[in-house]
Chain A
Amino acid sequence: MPETTAGIEYTKVAEIKGPLMVIDGITKASFDELVEIETSEGERRLGKVLEVGFGKAVVQVFEGTTGLTITGTKAKFLGKTMEMPVSQELLGRVFDGLGRPNDGLPDPIADKFLDVNGEPMNPERREYPTSFIQTGVSVIDGMLTLVRGQKLPIFSGSGMPHNILAAQIARQAAVVGTKEDFAVVFAAIGVQYSEAQYFKRSLEESGALRRSVLFLNLADDPAIERIITPRVALTVAEYLAYDLGMHVLAILTDMTNYAEALREISAAREEVPGRKGYPGYLYTDLANNYERAGRIKGKDGSVTQVPILSMPADDITHPIPDLTGYITEGQIVLGRDLFRKGVYPPVNVLMSLSRLMKDGVGEGKTRSDHMEVGNQLYDLYSRAQEVRALAEIVGRAGLTGTDLKYLDAGDMFENYFLKQAADENRNLEETLGRAWEVLSTLPEGELTKIKDKHVKQYYKGSK
């Protein structure tokens, strides 16, 4: 910005509606500029410019407009966009949803200030993600492999153990055979206090807290602040990854609350809504967060994202999971049926997918049979589900021999492969070993997705 507008203060508030404040008599203000608002009682709040022109500025107030008055409110335009101070000292600290310390400690000394909106990564400079991350969770490692620099969300529903799973991933995630610098960035977006505490405790117990940065916008914190929370978190994640060379796991929970805050602003601006009242730019806005994952050529670090979102009414076609699925590189879907059965983690494997698995596994990366085993397990479980549906109509007696084997293999898959304890860390050998034990209950001829040499090497069943 060649001409600075910093420090100009305006007092002419024309209108206050929802989270927005319209200020009149504007002579100098820029789009996206940060605004400091002082209420008539002297309280300070932050906002940013959504629209400026014809002497007016529309400002979105992060802490909400409650208590603001038309007269007596001052707005100071700060001449810069919202920035986050970053440095190595951020590790081990806890911040609020706008990136201000809330652990009682002083402001960390900043190495530099970064625009929280980030900039789009140039696809030409991206390094294609190929390093396998072992999470110690069989279903993820075996069938939905997470790769460094991937964005793999968890689609959950209310009451399901997405936090337990995310915390388990955060504790156990490691790249086999390496000892590299890692960090966890956790952003709580409108979640309950207890959920955020669970996560914090879990990191504390595993000793990872001092390698973590936490951003907490809790359910009772201002809703509009949530627009910023993932942005400050990802800004820090990018700094740790690309400036300090760390491998960062960024967990954002719950993106549904984020999207709702976005809808609130859109409604206040009287924009033409897209589906279910969400703004037409929801896809682009979500992408601006999710795409902040990956690796860069010539840099050591990486940002791996695990956003969590709860599907309203468990509906995967709802705009939030739907648009998320179009942007992220796969999804881990938690299923209500398995959850009710008491299976943890209740991953509905058929609806789940990891798009980057093909690039992270196989000879030289994990094991040469890995991909084939994963595909065969999908096939097995998909057939088992079909047979289950059929058995409900015709009964077990009406099934053929092969069908019966699938029925039993499906049960074994759920109880022996999928199910594990929340503190159980299985290495890949064990995961694949269990997979082969399940596959070995089928006749050899059924393993149509696995090469003969692998069948010969690992199959333990009868012909």
Chain B
Amino acid sequence: MVVKGRIVWVSGPAVKADGMSAAKMYETVEVGDSKLIGEVIRLTGDIAFIQVYESTSGLKPGEPVVGTGQPLSVLLGPGIIGRIYDGIQRPLDEIAQKSGAFIGRGIQTTPVDMKKKFHFVPSMKKGDVVGPGSILGVVDETQLLKHSILVPPYHAKDAKLVDIVAEGDYDLEQVIATSEKDGVKVPLKMYHKWPVRKPRPYAERYDPTVPLVTGQRVIDTYFPIAKGGTGAIPGGFGTGKTVTMHQIAKWADSKVVVYIGCGERGNEMTEVLVEFPHLIDPRSGRPLMERTVLVANTSNMPVAAREASIYTGVTMAEYYRDMGFDVVLVADSTSRWAEALREMSGRLEEMPAEEGYPSYLASRLAEFYERAGRVRALGSPDRAGSVTLVGAVSPSGADFTEPVTTHTIRFIKTFWALDTRLAYSRHYPSINWMQSYSGYLEDVSKWWKENVSPEWYELRSESYHILQREDTLKEIVRLLGPEALPDEEKLVLEVARMIKIGILQQNSFDKVDTYCGPEKQVKLVKLMVKFFKEAQKALKSEVSLTEIRAMPIITQLLKAKFEIPEEQLQKLQDLDKELDEQFRKLSAGGSKTEEVKVVA
């Protein structure tokens, strides 16, 4: 039965309609004469409270509200990759074709081109048993991605495939297979729909143990995130949240990237659209856009659709996970999503908790981050996929004690704290190494040991220890000046400076430095640690700190990150020899040169 009601009240994105007693919670409705899309978020008697995903300017009481009977859903099938959608999966290029450079209202679109033909290669045959998640066959969605055609999760278990088409070109509306159970025949197409607020089911959950390699040294080496894990990047404005998010989206070793621009700048989405088709994935050699989906609900687009954009994005991510892929979802920024919640909550006149946020903020955040994970997908063949969730947080006043940050921290395991002070001194990425942490460190160390270097864990600890010591010594320097420290401790400061410049700082805009592979990361750290140990030895054998500071190898070590590209890593070996050689000369020189005191 189609629900038909009338608008009785309008205030911003919130609308009340009566005659809605048959409506369901979270049902999608068409609001007003211009058929704006909305969602029922509260029912009282026959009055429904609706959040509208488009501007309500000009809407008036008396206009109709028509139910669709469906909850807010996304269409899942080939053709999603490479597209840019708004918060409710409407393609922005199609909207632009219909309404020009500015986004109009009430525009009807389809999420993917239903007429586009894909070359379908069946992997099942007549008579096979099918159930939720079974792979019927594959199509090439992009050159980079073999898209598995999945039987929908809501399909009956243990059905029988009574028909499946031969290899060939089919569009999305064509029936490619038919299943039967207990005499009920179900036609299957290359797509299905799924309600965004409901996590897609899986067979079993695994522990995340494989790191997501992002090519960012401070992340991979010091605060790693695992595939299927969760992480948050809080930071004040100007600390480089968006650049860090872009870096993860560009270089993470996942098969699919879902990038959600949630209440952020329009130009940032344009930047991704302009840049990604030209950036080449270091592993596949194909443009990054061939593995990326964008969901853009910029800050000036309707606030209710911003709330939905997170769910739209994560549902698409889960869909690709179910094919057995590793998927990364970056959401920039979850604070704007929380603000959308707050705004709707305010209009619902709910009792607010901290700073006006609704009391269910924490549980909503928890539900979102719980949709991350590494899982065994439903159906056959057996396959594991993962969704890694990374959320940017924009704390007001860069204050990490505000509600969105404090609640987010409870549900994530990797915390990359961006530091305004580091950003002011142009230390990028401005991830504060004392405040940040990773709950996956132990979990992923096995992978590093087996795949990159057996010493990884020790090297990481030793270099991190130098940074920790520097942090303590800094206090003394602040009070008494550096000259108050003994040489041994001054050396700690010197090497910490080297680690900061040579390892932690990474220039996203430099062609070489933007991506640093695991092997290079370990080798760079190893060189720094080695320098420290050699310098300690030299100090003990009467070499002065001034001599050590004057060693040319230091500049070479600091520049190695951008001077030595991935394909010339043997040059790091040369650097290693050079290091040995310079220390040998130093100690052989024997005669201690006078320490030069500069008099002002």
By a beta-carbon cutoff of 8 Å, the part of chain A in contact with chain B is 1-3, 5, 28-33, 50-54, 58, 81, 115, 117-129, 149, 242, 271-275, 280-281, 283-284, 287-288, 291-292, 294, 296-297, 299, 317-319, 322-323, 325-327, 329-331, 350-351, 353, 356, 358-359, 371, 375, 378-379, 382, 390, 393-394, 396-401, 404, 445, 448
Contacts and interface: CB of A to CB of B under 8 A. Distances in A.
Contacts of B9: 51-54
Given A5-B60, A317-B398, 11 more contacts: A28-B62, A50-B11, A52-B11, A122-B96, A123-B273, A124-B92, A126-B269, A272-B352, A291-B300, A297-B101, A382-B426
15 contacts: A3-B33, A51-B9, A53-B11, A123-B270, A242-B101, A271-B346, A274-B356, A288-B300, A297-B101, A322-B397, A331-B237, A393-B479, A393-B480, A401-B596, A448-B558
Contacts of B16: 53
Interface stretch (B170-178, B336-344, B581-589): B336-344
Contacts of B57: 31-32, 81, 115, 117
A333 to B, nearest CB: 10
A359 B425 CA distance: 21
The size class of the interface chain B forms with chain A is 35 or more
Interface string B67-105: 000000000000000001000000011011001111110
Interface in B272-331: 273-274, 296, 298-301, 303
Contacts of B336: 283
A454 B339 CA distance: 47
A360 B10 CA distance: 44
Decide if the interface of chain B is mainly helix, strand, loop or mixed.
mixed
B103 A120 contact: yes
Given A32-B56, A126-B270, A121 B101 contact: yes
A294 B479 CA distance: 48
Interface of B: 7-12, 16, 33, 55-62, 84, 92-93, 95-96, 99-104, 236-238, 261, 263, 265-267, 269-271, 273-274, 296, 298-301, 303, 336, 339, 342-343, 346, 352, 355-356, 394, 396-399, 424-426, 478-481, 483, 501, 509, 555, 558-559, 596, 598-600
Which of A119, A353, A382: most chain B CB closer than 10 A? A119
Contacts of B352: 272
Contacts of A400: 598
A149 B271 CA distance: 13
A389 B307 CA distance: 46
A398 B356 contact: no
A393 B296 CA distance: 51
A274 B266 CA distance: 25
Given A281-B343, A404-B598, A273 B356 contact: yes
B8 A54 contact: yes
B58 A32 contact: yes
Contact of B299 (A29, A149, A294, A327): A327
Contacts of B261: 123
Contacts of A390: 481
A319 B396 contact: yes
A81 B58 contact: yes
Contacts of B237: 322, 325-326, 331
B54 to A, nearest CB: 10
A121 B10 CA distance: 24
Nearest to B92: A124
A379 B425 CA distance: 7
Contacts of A281: 303, 339, 343
Contact of B267 (A32, A81, A122, A128): A128
Contacts of B60: 5, 28-31, 33, 52
B481 A52 contact: no
Contacts of B356: 272-274, 280
B101 A283 contact: no
A242 B102 CA distance: 11
A37 to B, nearest CB: 19
Nearest to A53: B9
Contacts of B271: 128, 359
B501 A448 contact: yes
A290 to B, nearest CB: 8
A400 B596 CA distance: 9
B101 A125 contact: yes
